[in-house]
Amino acid sequence: MATNDKGKRALIVGLGISGISTAIRLRSIGWEPVIVERASARRGGGYFLGVFGAGQDAARRLGILDAIPDRAAADTATFVVNRTGGKRRGLGFTDLPVRLRCMLRGDVERGAFSALPDDVEIRYSTSPTRIEQDDHGVDVTLEQDGVAGTERFDLVVGADGVRSTVRRLAFGPHAQFLHPLGYMVAACLLPHPIAGMGPHEGATLLEPGRALWIFPMEDHPPSAFFSYRTDDIDREFSGRPIDRLRAAFGPQEYGRLLGAALDVYEAAEQPLFDAAEQVRMRRWSTGRVVLVGDAAWCLTVFSGMGVSSAMAGADVLGTMLQRHGDRVVPALQAWEGHLRRPIESYQRAGVDMIPLFTPETRRQIKVRHAFEVGERLPLIGQALRWISRGEHVEKDQDIALVQHDGLALVGG
């Protein structure tokens, strides 16, 4: 057994939102978590995020909600724009009739990190290279700056994102679990609002198979999000991201707003460029090794529930381990039993929601427009609000997840 005087030892791989949340929760029930992070330091910044009701509930239960800012400006106005300067009022995230907090990914990570007890060990520049388990524990070889050593843990949590090393080592190759949705996504922070736009003005530029969103924030310059359809992800990863982006939004003139956003992306320090890929697995645990967050079920940006499910997954994991005491394997099975249904519904919603973010055809753009107009008409708006009202599918009061947030239903 790996248990020592302090309690049971858990290795958590990844210092993202899933990993930090898991460490907080496990520490709170007396476990001794050790976090390893491949990067040499904690990340900052990130992109715009919306955290919906289920995520807020989980953050509250983890004790980090108050440490996470809400950067949504009360007077946010979102416009549908085109390349030639056309502009009409549209719907933004903050217009949705749901409980929503807006922030940067780094805000959540920072807030969660601030709640992490000081006695939780964190090792940077460290990654697992081998995972082997028996009925009583897991032996993990960890490599730090080229030096490898093997340690024993009671539990290993893979919170290492969509291309998880823990998943590869314990479950199988990436190709077995990654399901590309056929879209590339790119994001960056703007140093200031784009000329001609107010500080609290957002924009969506929607064309068949490609879209630009500008997300405004209360006390921070906006964030830009691009996405486009592709049939050849390998080609998109060849060459510089900015060149792929410019090609995807060409060959027409970009116009003022898109041109400015592309220029900012080119100059950005840590721009994001990736394929939207869901992780689909029949099981999220094997023995004493479990995956949480993007490593287990990456929902992608299109579901809007990645952060919420990461925090809720970590929270429920702690609840189940506490309930099952020493019996780690049954706890993991019970954990999965509680999460499987809502997570799969978020995954389906993530696919259904693609047209809302990046319509593929002119017809989808028109349907989206009709939705936007309808939402603002009293009777239709009321009906939409009723449809998108939260529905509790999980009745267990001890468990934070599992509230269907309106966004998923609006898109369904």
Q: Which residues bind ligand FAD (CB under 6 A)?
A: 13-19, 36-39, 43, 47, 49-51, 105, 127, 159-161, 165, 185, 187, 225, 272, 293-294, 301, 304-308, 310
Q: Is 141 exposed, middle or buried (0-12, 13-18, 19+ CB in 10 A)?
A: middle
d(CA 156, CA 144): 17
- Name the residue nearer to ligand FAD (CB basis): 160 or 372: 160
User: Shortest approach of ligand FAD to residue 24 CB, angstroms?
Assistant: 13
- Name the residue nearer to ligand FAD (CB basis): 266 or 324: 266
- Name the residue nearer to ligand FAD (CB basis): 18 or 319: 18
Contacts of 17 (CB under 8 A, 6+ apart): 105, 108, 109, 112, 293, 307, 310, 311
User: Shortest approach of ligand FAD to residue 377 CB, angstroms?
Assistant: 27
Q: Radius of gyration of the chain from Cα atoms?
A: 21
d(CA 123, CA 126): 6
Which position's Cβ is nearest ligand FAD? 306
User: Bridge-partner residues for 30, per DSSP?
Assistant: none
Closest CA to 290 of 333, 343, 320: 333
User: Shortest approach of ligand FAD to residue 16 CB, angstroms?
Assistant: 2
- Measure Cα distances from 253 to 14, 84, 188 in Å: 42, 9, 21
**Helix/strand/coil for 89:** strand
- Name the residue nearer to ligand FAD (CB basis): 171 or 378: 171
Please give the structure tokens belonging to residue 206: 């929607």
- Name the residue nearer to ligand FAD (CB basis): 31 or 47: 47
User: Shortest approach of ligand FAD to residue 375 CB, angstroms?
Assistant: 19
d(CA 147, CA 260): 46
User: Shortest approach of ligand FAD to residue 380 CB, angstroms?
Assistant: 25
User: Shortest approach of ligand FAD to residue 381 CB, angstroms?
Assistant: 23
